[in-house]
Amino acid sequence: MAISAWTLLLALIVVWISGAELVDAQVPGPRTRYQPNWASLDQRPLPQWYDEAKVGIFLHYGVYSVPSFGSEWFWTNWKNLRNPEYVQFMQRNYKPDFTYQEFASQFTAELFNATKWALLFKDSGARYVVLTSKHHDGFTLWPSKNSYGWNSVDVGPKRDIVKELAAAIRKETNLRFGLYYSLFEWFNPLWTDDKLHLLMQQHFVERKVRPEQMELVQQYLPEIIWSDGDWEAPAKYWRSEEFIAWLYNDSPVRDTVVTNDRWGFGTACLHGDFYNCADRFNPGVLQAHKWENAFTLDRTSWGQRFDVSLEDFMSSKDVIKEIVTTVSCNGNVLINVGPTRFGTILPIFEERLRDMGRWLKLNGEAIYGSKPWIYQNDTITGNVWYTRQSEAIDGKVTIYAFVLEYPYDTNELDIYPLGKEINVFQNIMLTGIDMGTGGDVLNEQSTQVVMLGLEDTKIKWTAEHNRLHIEFPPKNHIDKRGLDFAWTFKITIA
C-alpha cells in the first residue's frame, strides 16, 4: 500500500476528533477566573480525573429507606399526590395520624459501617462515589445548621453519615467522593412561600440552599456536586451561576470539582461539566460533551424498597452492557444502590457490584482512561462496541472490541473495527491520499489480537481488507478464567 496502516488510522482519528468537536482537552496555563454566567462557566475544561474514571456508585439513602415502599418519592406520593397504593400501604401498616416525620426515628442505621461500604465500592471497580446528602424531603445526612431537628445527628442514626463515609472512602480507597444535593424540598415552608410569591423572592435560597451548599463544600470537600430538583425554578432563582463560579474560582476543591447539568429548568444537556440530561440517559450514539448515565440496579426505584421481585433488578450482564455502551459513546456510568434503613446493602446489590468488579479487573484497561473510537458500535455485526486506548504507544494504535453476546453456535465472529467500507474514507475523508492496493490494513505483520483475561492464549484470526475474523478460544478455557458477561478483544495495529 502507498501509506502505512498507522498513517491511515492517525488520519482517521484526526478527522473524527475534528468532526465530533470533543471539548474535554485541557491546556495548562494561568488560573482562569470564571464569571457567574454560563458563557464563562461553560469554558472551563473538564478535570481529567472524571473522564478517566468512567464508573461511579450512587447512593440514595434517607428517611424514605424506612417505609421501603414504592420509591424515594414516598412522602409526596403519599401526602401530595395521594397515590392510592401509598395511601393504602399507610392505612394497613400505621396508625391513622402517623406522619412522615415519625419515620425519622426509625431511620436507625445501627448496622451502618462506612468502612465496609468503602471496601465494597473499591472491590466493585468504581472510581468515585456520590452520596445523597439531602433528597427532596429535606432530611440531611449531616448536622446541617439550617435543618434543625431534621438531620441524621439530631434524630435517627445520631451520626454524621456524610462525614463517616467521606472519611472511610478517603482512608480505605483511592475513590473520589461526591455529594448529591436537592435544590428544592417538597414541603419546606420557605420554598412553598417563594412559590406563592411567583419566585420573585428567594428566601429559600438565601436561608437554606446556599448556606447548606457552602457548608457541604467547605466541611466535606466533595469533588462531585450532583445537583437535582432543578425543574421547578430557573437557574437565576437558584443563583446557580454564582455558586458554580465560586466552586470553580475560590472553593477548596476548585481544581478538581465537577458539576452536572441540573441547575434550573432549561439547563439540562446545556450547562455543567458533564450532562445527565435525564435519568437513565443512554443515547447509544457519540456525544460531543462529556455525559453521565445515572441508572438504578432496581429498575424503577432509586431508594431501597421491599415491594420488589427478582425481575425488577438488572442482571450483572445488563450492568456490563450499560457500562460498555455508555463508555463507547463518551459517557460515564453512575450505578445506584439503595441501602436499607439499618445501614446495610442488600446481597443482591452486593452481588451485582462484585460481579462488575471482577469483570473490570480483567477488562478495565478497555474502560478506564479510554476514548471513543471512530465507530461506537460495529456497523455489520450486532452487539459489538468499541473504545480505543487514549494515546498511541510506540506508533501503534489500540482498539478494544467488546462482544456482548457470545457466538455459541459457531465460536467465531466477524467484526469490522475500521467500518464496513474503508474506501469511503479514502474517497471522501482522505481525498488526495492514495491508499494504494498493495495490501490490507489488517494483516499478520501489522496487527495483533489478544483477548483480555487470556493474554497468554494465542487467538486465531484472519483478515480480509477491513473484516477481522476471530475464533474464540475453547469455551472451557474462557469459563475457567472467569470471563463472563462481555468479552473484550484488544486489537493493536502498527
Residue 134: helix, strand or coil by DSSP?
Answer: strand
Mean pLDDT value of segment 374-380: 93
Average pLDDT over residues 13-35: 56
Mean pLDDT of 317-327: 98
pLDDT in the model for residue 393: 75
Q: Label residue 25 by pLDDT band (50, 70, 90).
A: very low
pLDDT digits (tens, 9 = 90+) for 260-271: 999 999 999 999
CB-CB contact of 356 with 297 (8 Å): no
Q: How is residue 492 written as a grid cell?
A: 493493536
Q: Is the pLDDT of residue 206 over 60?
A: yes
**Residue 26 CB neighbour total at 10 angstroms:** 11
What is the model's pLDDT at position 439? Answer: 52
How far is C-alpha 427 from the geometric centre of its chain's CA atoms?
38
> pLDDT confidence of 446, banded at 50, 70, 90?
confident
Does the pLDDT value for residue 426 go beyond 70?
no
Torsion of CA 422, 425, 426, 429, to 10 degrees: 180
Q: Given this model, what pLDDT does residue 17 score?
A: 43
Alpha carbon 310 to chain centroid, angstroms = 24
DSSP, collapsed to helix, strand or coil, labels residue 178 as strand
Per-residue pLDDT, 422: 58
Give the mean model confidence (pLDDT) for residues 460-470.
Answer: 91
H-assigned helices in 185-315:
189-196, 203-204, 210-220, 235-238, 240-249
The per-residue pLDDT for range 131-161, each reduced to its tens digit, is 999 999 999 999 999 999 999 999 999 999 9
Instruction: Give the three cell numbers for residue 242.
Output: 454564582
Helix (H, G, I), strand (E, B) or coil at 145: coil
Hey, what's the cell of 34? 470564571
Separation of alpha carbons 353 and 44, rounded Å: 33
Chain Cα centroid distance, residue 451: 26
**What percentage of the chain has pLDDT greater than the value 90?**
85
Give the DSSP letter string of 25-64.
-----SPPPPPSSHHHHTTSPPPHHHHHH-EEEEE--SGG
The CA-atom distances, in angstroms, between 168 and each of 36, 115, 116, 231 are 34, 5, 9, 33
Specify the pLDDT at position 29. Answer: 55
Q: What is the pLDDT of residue 443?
A: 82
Q: Which residues contact 291 (CB under 8 A, 6 or more apart)?
A: 274, 275, 276, 277, 281, 330, 331, 332
In this predicted structure, what is the pLDDT of residue 442? Answer: 81
Report which of residues 438 and 276 the model is more confident about: 276
Which is nearest to 34 in space by CA: 245, 256, 259?
A: 245
Other CB atoms within a 10 A radius of the CB of residue 207 amount to: 13
- For residues 415 and 403, what is the distance between their CA atoms, to the nearest angstrom? 10
Q: What is the mean pLDDT of residues 206-228?
A: 98
Q: What is the mean pLDDT of residues 432-450?
A: 64
Predicted confidence (pLDDT) at residue 68 exceeds the cutoff of 60: yes
Q: Residue 5 is placed in which grid cell?
A: 496502516
Which three cell numbers, joined as nine digits, stand for 472?
A: 474464540
| Residue 110 contacts residue 73 (beta carbons within 8 Å) | no
* CB count in 10 Å sphere of residue 106: 12
Instruction: Decide: helix, strand or coil at residue 450.
Output: strand
Give residue 438's pLDDT: 44
**pLDDT for the residue 27:** 43
| β strands within 162-207, DSSP E | 176-182
Going by pLDDT thresholds of 50, 70 and 90, the confidence category of residue 427 is very low
Instruction: Lowest mean pLDDT of 22-31, 170-179, 205-214, 368-377, name the range.
Output: 22-31
Lowest mean pLDDT among 48-62, 191-205, 293-307, 408-422: 408-422
pLDDT of residue 431: 26
The pLDDT value recorded for residue 433 is 26
Average pLDDT, the chain: 91
What's the average model confidence in pLDDT over 98-113?
Answer: 98
- pLDDT band of residue 440 (cuts 50, 70, 90) is low
**pLDDT at residue 464, as a whole number:** 87
DSSP 227: E
Flag whether pLDDT at 392 surpasses 90.
Answer: no
Lowest mean pLDDT among 9-23, 237-251, 287-301: 9-23
pLDDT for residue 423 = 52
Determine the pLDDT at residue 420. Answer: 75
Average pLDDT over residues 98-119: 98
In the numeric block, which cell numbers belong to residue 39?
458563557
Amino acid at 482: G
Q: What is the pLDDT, as a whole number, of residue 419?
A: 85
Give me the pLDDT at residue 1, please: 33
